[in-house]
A and B are shown apart, each in its own frame.
Chain A
Amino acid sequence: MSDEVSAEILTTHILDLAAEGKRLDGRGPDEYRPITVEPGFVTTADGSALVRIGNTAVLSGIKLEPGKPFADTPNAGVLTTNAELIPLSNAIFEPGPPQPGAIEVSRVVDRAIRAAETIDLTRLCVTPGEKTWVCYVDIHCLDHSGNLIDAALMAAVSALCHATVPAKRFEIAEADYPLAVNHVPIECTFVRLGDAIVVDPTFDEERAAQGRITVATDEVGRVVAMQKGLVGAFSPDDVKDVVRRAFRHGERHRLLAKGGTP
């Protein structure tokens, strides 16, 4: 509707529906929109994946380049995550330096990848103290219709799962080899709409939300990252409930990230 301002009526309606366990698009409180994952979307990247959740579309590309390790971690590779929330994807984004929303998405995705030890950074090391692989995770939002975080992390991990280390091209080894992925974190984002806590918010639901919480889980039963966002509050019981739900969704989405969708 309005790019800038949400109609109060719509917000009220979303909250009224939520009070009855219903949502604008007819989903249940614990239902995701349809998800598609296309690994290998961009061949100039060393790994890539395009993820759609409903009308939200996020593309991630991995680039691996030789570089210098950080002085305080001479045996470790370098991982860096950057998310671009570009004006192309939604009227609310302005061109220019990253806004707080983009920075938050970058950091929440990065936190999950790192905490889950998705890739073993020591295996990226070529010569301790001198040469290591730098792994760039670039996330490009193409269409923002809500829940960028879940789509962004899924795109990033799917891209990592399908990435090749360009060892031959950079003359570090005889042949390229697949990037070793040890853990596959998945994030699930929930928003509070009145007393209801619903998963996978659409853009309108995010605007109506009174708090947002993201939980990242891995395949060995660990919670690896959490982030509460927007203005609102969650009780400890709320948090336990969403964690339980996040594990369940995580199992399914992990398969999609690793295998892609037909």
Chain B
Amino acid sequence: MYASVLGLLSERPPIVQVIPLSGRYIPKPNDTVIGTVTDVQGTFWLLDIGAPRWAPLHMTGTPWQIDVGETERFLRVGDAVVVQIESLEATGRIGVTMNGEGLGKLEGGTIVQVSPARIPRVVGRNGSMIDTIRRLTGAEVVVGQNGRVWIGGTPDAIHRVSEVLRIIEENAQHSGLTERVESYLRSTTPTGLKGPEEPLQEHAHRDAPPRVLTSAEPDEDAVDAEDESPEPSEPSEH
């Protein structure tokens, strides 16, 4: 029925559905997403994750010991969190959990919104793009499948990652995106940062407050939970 334009138009008649370049995030189980607390109740919080519905996070879905009614002490309206989609019910309810590695409350840094449709390009094949970004900026980056990307680090690192995300958003469908991103990052490498060979994780923490509160100390290298590939044990050279 439709010519396949960038694979965006559904080939199954009779349904028309375009994967939107903008628009809502549609949750999938096991996705890691970044949400904002919009409401606090006695036993749970409501999170806006950019999906058709808010996602309730129950107090038992966190690593904390919380008494009923004490929820506000742990998360308040406006706080940003990294959670994982656990279940999608027929009623539309989106079950999420904050129990797990790389999940927790976000502090410091900033959040940038890109179209959910662009996230695969932000991550890249086997995480190649996101690895490049981290390597060449020294920033900490948490990528939410819902299009929200948290960036931590020096103001300069944050700015450069934001710029890269903008480049990806505007050029995702063009070829040569990886080259464009790398060329931007290399041409704007600030002084003091030696380049890809240097282990950059230490730099990331220098100016930023602790990133994530979880029950255990976050593994130095487990900076994101969205990688399709196994976690690298140390910064890799690609």
The answer to whether A and B touch in the complex, with CB atoms under 8 Å apart, is: yes
Q: Which residues of A contact B (CB under 8 A)?
A: 1-13, 16-17, 20, 22, 24, 26
Which residue of A has the minimal Cβ distance to B152?
Answer: A9
Any A CB within 8 A of the CB of B38? yes
| Contact across chains for B36 and A1 when beta carbons are under 8 A apart | yes
Contact with A along B103-122 (1 / 0, CB 8 A): 00011111101000000000
Nearest CB of B to A73, in Å: 49
A7's partner among B78, B108, B158, B162 (CB-CB below 8 A) is: B78
| Contact across chains for A8 and B48 when beta carbons are under 8 A apart | no
Interface of A is mostly: loop
Which residue of B has the minimal Cβ distance to A11?
Answer: B78
Nearest CB of B to A133, in Å: 43
A9's partner among B50, B108, B162 (CB-CB below 8 A) is: B108
B77's partner among A1, A5, A22 (CB-CB below 8 A) is: A5
Write out the residue numbers on chain B whose beta carbons fall within 8 Å of the beta carbon of A20.
155
| Contact across chains for B48 and A10 when beta carbons are under 8 A apart | no
| Contact across chains for B78 and A5 when beta carbons are under 8 A apart | yes
8 closest Cβ pairs, A-B complex: A13-B110, A8-B78, A2-B48, A2-B36, A5-B38, A7-B36, A7-B80, A9-B80
Indicate whether A10 sits within 8 Å of B111 (C-beta atoms), given known contacts A2-B48, A5-B78: yes
Nearest CB of B to A13, in Å: 4
Contact with A along B31-56 (1 / 0, CB 8 A): 00000111000000000101000000
**Cα distance A1–B47 when bound, in Å?**
12
Residue of A10, A17, A24, A26 with most partner-chain B CB within 10 A: A10
**Cα distance A4–B108 when bound, in Å?**
21
| Contact across chains for B50 and A1 when beta carbons are under 8 A apart | yes
| Contact across chains for B36 and A5 when beta carbons are under 8 A apart | yes
Write out the residue numbers on chain B whose beta carbons fall within 8 Å of the beta carbon of A2.
36, 38, 48, 50
A4's partner among B38, B109, B111 (CB-CB below 8 A) is: B38
Which residue of B has the minimal Cβ distance to A16?
Answer: B155
B37's partner among A5, A11, A17 (CB-CB below 8 A) is: A5
**Cα distance A3–B36 when bound, in Å?**
10
Any A CB within 8 A of the CB of B135? no
Any A CB within 8 A of the CB of B221? no
Any A CB within 8 A of the CB of B134? no
Indicate whether A1 sits within 8 Å of B111 (C-beta atoms), given known contacts A8-B79, A9-B106: yes
